[in-house]
Chains A and B, each alone.
Chain A
Amino acid sequence: MATPPTPAPFRDRVLAGLRAGLPFGVASFVLAMSFPVVASEAGFSALEAIAASALIFAGSAQFTAVAVLIQGGGAGAAIVAATLMNARYLPMGIALAPSLIGGRLRRAVEGQAVVDASWAMASRGDGTFDRGILFGSTLALYVGWVGGTIAGAVAGDLLSDPEALGLDAIYPAFFLALLINEVRSGRARAAAALGAAIALALTPVAPAGLPIVLASFAALIALWRRAPAEERAS
Chain B
Amino acid sequence: MSTPVIVIAALTATTLAIKAIGPITVGGRELPGWARDIVLLLGPALLAALVVTQTFTADERLTVGPEAAGVGVSGVVMWRTRSVVATVVTAAVVTAGLRALG
Contacts and interface: CB of A to CB of B under 8 A. Distances in A.
Interface of A: 23-24, 26-27, 30-31, 39, 42-45, 48, 51-52, 55-58, 60-62, 65, 69, 71, 74-75, 78-79, 82-83, 86-98, 100-101, 103-105, 107-108, 110-112, 114, 116, 119-120, 123, 125-128, 163-183, 187-189, 191-196, 198-200, 203-204, 207-208, 211-212, 215-220, 222-223
Interface string B6-27: 1110111011101111111111
A168 B88 contact: no
Given A98-B29, A218-B41, A164 B100 contact: yes
B25 A94 contact: yes
Contacts of B35: 127
Contacts of B3: 42-43, 69, 74-75
Interface residues of B, number: 79
A83 B14 contact: yes
CB-CB nearest 7 A-B residue pairs: A127-B36, A93-B22, A195-B45, A166-B95, A173-B91, A215-B49, A166-B96
A216 B96 contact: no
A91 B7 CA distance: 24
Q: Is the interface of A mostly helix, strand, loop or mixed?
A: helix
A158 to B, nearest CB: 14
Given A127-B40, A192-B44, A94 B22 contact: yes
Contacts of A58: 11, 15
B31 interface: yes
Contacts of A83: 10-11, 14-15, 18
Interface string B65-82: 011001100110011001
Contacts of A195: 44-49
Interface string B42-60: 1111111111111111011
Given A26-B84, A188-B40, 13 more contacts: A44-B4, A48-B5, A56-B11, A79-B14, A83-B15, A93-B20, A94-B26, A95-B39, A107-B23, A108-B23, A172-B51, A182-B44, A215-B46
